[in-house]
Chains A and B, each alone.
Chain A
Amino acid sequence: MKKDWSLYLKDTANTLRYHAAIRQYIASDLARLVGRLDGEDDRVVIPPEADYRIRYKTIPIRLFDDEGKSGSSFRPMDDIGDGDNRLTYGESVGVEDIADLLLRQLELPELHHRRAAAVPMRDMAFSAVRPAGILPLLDKRQTLLAAIRRRAQSPQSSPHIRKEDLRFHALTEDTSNTHALLVAVMDVSASMQAFERRIARIFFYWTRRFLNLKYPDVEIHYVVHHTQAFEVNEPEFFTVEDDGGTVLSQAYRKVQDILAHFGGADTNVYVLHFTDGDNRPTDREGAKSAAWEVGARAHLFGYVEIGQNPEPSPMLEWLGKAGPPFRAAAVHAATDLYPALRHVFSRRGRAAKAGS
């Protein structure tokens, strides 16, 4: 009798369980991973909690090079293993695994805004008519009209409804011409050092991934600024290096230009600004009023400020209290990115301030 070994395939089950365990670790370590992912180290090492036992610190000699891997009844005792007795099990965790967990938690606020037409969604509806279909979808009115039309054209033809008169409802994709617009604004002034820029780019990287996944119809415009603001394309945005001081009002004016040009009355507008908040002092009031004007047009104005300074800038402080559509978050370290993302991309805005 030949045994059916396909009943004994356990490798997949083991692997799935292992991956589920890894996902738990990723979930518990998400803040660190989100802020770290830019290709330098995408491995999450399963912490030693997963594999510990009572063992010696050092093992002086090795009795055998291990062998049992090629089968036999059991594996070599790893105690007689190598001198460094600590086995670290590292498992590569790619962007996708993290994206999967992170992006599921984010959403755009106010999607069901009172202006119903503003939702940039694809919808299906029985809005078309065609001459073939199933009887339950018969469009009686159009069928009757078709029969009348035929009779009008050739009066000698049958007065009854004929097969060629039948008209049916047809399912069509309803693509509304309303849309949503996101303006990503990044500070590239001299005060944004390598670290700050890296964090800013990771922030926008996740933003883009998130939008691509959940709201692929959102149109993204990229703006970089120092004392002046420029609209750039996506590759430029993620690579540009620049210099100079900071004038926030310039950036907001640029955003207004873009909104005036691309945004209709029923456009959902989202603005995200990533800066170190190191604004020119003379621009303080100007920036406020410019931000206020942008905010009046936007459904979401996310302001993320990065800096080693524990004191928030006047702008952050003011926006933090400004209420909807403003959402402000402070980022001091890479691990603050995750709460900042959750704060900005939540339906209602998460309680209190993200970061710190």
Chain B
Amino acid sequence: MNADRLWDAAITLGFHPYPVSVERVPGRVLWAMGAEQLPFRFAHWIFGRDQAQMDRDERPRFFVLYHDPVRLLLDQDATPLEEAWWLARTIGHSDFFRSNRLMDHSFVDPLRIRRAHAAQIREWETELGQERVSTWIRHAWSIRDYPELLEIIARAGAQLDNWERSLLELLAAEIRQQRPFAHTRLVNEGWSAYCRRIVSREISGSNGLEVARREALAAARRTASSLGAHMFSEIHRKQGFEHARKVLAVSDDPAFAQQHLSDDLLHTWYSAKAGTEQAARAHIVHQLATLGLPRLETEVEKNGELAIVHLVEDRELEPAELKMTLTSLHTLYRRPIRFTTVIDGQRVTLRFEGGRLVQTRYH
């Protein structure tokens, strides 16, 4: 497998990617990017912690930036085979990014926006002190899963300074920008792995054996990319490549799983027993649709009080972390907050006022 021939092979096979540029980057840059999740982001100690965590597990070797052209940042120590291996996948990512309807094609460079955000936050830090800004970010970080909430606080929170308001909005914008990727992870990863699989099959070279070994290892892992690749491979086999491309164009994860996660895959992947496939599929679709996050319904009342209701399904929330999160939320909002959920089988409303939990009411 060699990088020069990859591109031609992929085009011949019917992929329509944006051009891909490969850049060799120091491993440390990738490491920081991996921890920050979004490259060129603002600085915060939370990312340092995630870096330490990554260092214990595994440091990233490559990073894909979605833009036109798609940029593959590659560890500068990567071998030629590794380069080809990741490039093949990136072609798939690029194809997905060009074809999928959920992707934003306004071509506002997200990197540029994030750099601007980072510069703005640096400015605040110089002006107000790193400690203060960092604390505010830490509070906001606890509700990073709910950009709605961040926006509501920015809009309706009491006595927010301009910078505090802007910071919340800025954080929410970054999360929103990333959301479509979170909702298409299975499709994206699956398509890219599938692309690599069929491209590498096409151009087996002197290192064909090594490529085959890597393919086999990747296919055996229970990852999103492996499952997605299995699914696309099935569609390709049964309904043809063009149909697979159509699926790629219109699907997000829940739709993809709903329509194309076959009973066979449910059996082999999730050991679903005969007769339970429907329920298993429904469960997976639900998890993909909610991103595994509890669903919250929020409302700002006339007196400014923020009422949040957890739409309880069958699972309860982690109570200790919930209280800490709500305290942070209250710190951000600076007005009373009500949160309704179920704790230990009992429906309960927690009320925060004056900086602390003031009332726990059981229904």
Contact = CB atoms under 8 A, between A and B. Distances in A.
Interface in B313-327: 315-322, 324-325
B182 A53 contact: no
Interface in B130-154: 134, 138, 142-146
Given A5-B25, A11-B31, A57-B318, A50 B46 contact: yes
Interface residue range, chain B: 35 or more
A9 B296 CA distance: 38
Contact of B45 (A11, A21, A76): A21
A261 interface: no
A171 interface: no
Contacts of A17: 43-45, 47-48, 134
B35 interface: yes
A86 B51 contact: no
Given A53-B143, A54-B321, A86-B318, A69 B54 contact: yes
Interface stretch (A59-67, A156-164, A336-344): A59-67
Contacts of B317: 54-57
A14 interface: yes
Nearest to A49: B324
B294 A54 contact: yes
A54 B343 CA distance: 13
Nearest to A16: B48
B60 A55 contact: no
Nearest to A62: B222
A192 to B, nearest CB: 40
Given A65-B221, A69-B34, A85 B270 contact: no
A69 B38 CA distance: 13
Interface in A86-125: 86, 89, 91
B23 A55 contact: no
B137 to A, nearest CB: 11
A80 B294 contact: no
B86 A11 contact: no
B178 A74 contact: yes
A67 B225 contact: yes
A61 B189 contact: no
Interface residue range, chain A: 35 or more
A73 B34 contact: no
A195 interface: no
Nearest to A66: B223
A71 B143 contact: no
B29 A5 contact: yes
A189 to B, nearest CB: 45
B291 A77 contact: yes
A85 B227 CA distance: 23
Contact of B227 (A8, A56, A64): A64
A58 interface: yes
A146 to B, nearest CB: 60
Interface in A6-25: 6, 8-21
Contacts of B283: 61
A15 B46 contact: no
A38 interface: no
Nearest to B59: A69
Contacts of A48: 320-321, 324
Given A15-B48, A15-B52, A48-B324, A59 B222 contact: no
Contacts of B47: 14, 17-18
B224 interface: yes
A46 interface: yes
Given A16-B48, A69-B57, A71-B63, A5 B325 contact: no
Contacts of B146: 54
Given A64-B222, A67-B189, A79-B293, A53 B142 contact: yes
B143 A89 contact: no
A350 interface: no
A149 interface: no
B288 A56 contact: no
B188 to A, nearest CB: 8
Nearest to A71: B62
A69 B61 CA distance: 9
A70 B34 CA distance: 9
B102 to A, nearest CB: 13
23 contacts: A11-B29, A14-B44, A15-B48, A17-B43, A18-B46, A18-B51, A21-B48, A46-B49, A48-B321, A54-B293, A54-B310, A61-B283, A63-B224, A64-B224, A64-B227, A65-B221, A69-B58, A70-B61, A71-B64, A74-B38, A80-B292, A86-B318, A89-B52
Interface of B: 23, 25-26, 28-32, 34-38, 40, 43-49, 51-54, 57-58, 60-66, 86, 93, 134, 138, 142-146, 178, 181-182, 185, 188-189, 221-225, 227, 270, 283-284, 287-288, 291-294, 296, 310, 315-322, 324-325, 328
Please give me the 10 A-B residue pairs with the lowest Cβ-Cβ distance, nearest first.
Answer: A18-B48, A79-B292, A67-B223, A14-B48, A17-B45, A71-B62, A21-B45, A10-B32, A11-B32, A52-B321
Given A61-B270, A72-B63, 12 more contacts: A9-B32, A11-B28, A18-B47, A20-B45, A52-B325, A53-B142, A55-B321, A64-B222, A64-B227, A65-B221, A69-B57, A74-B37
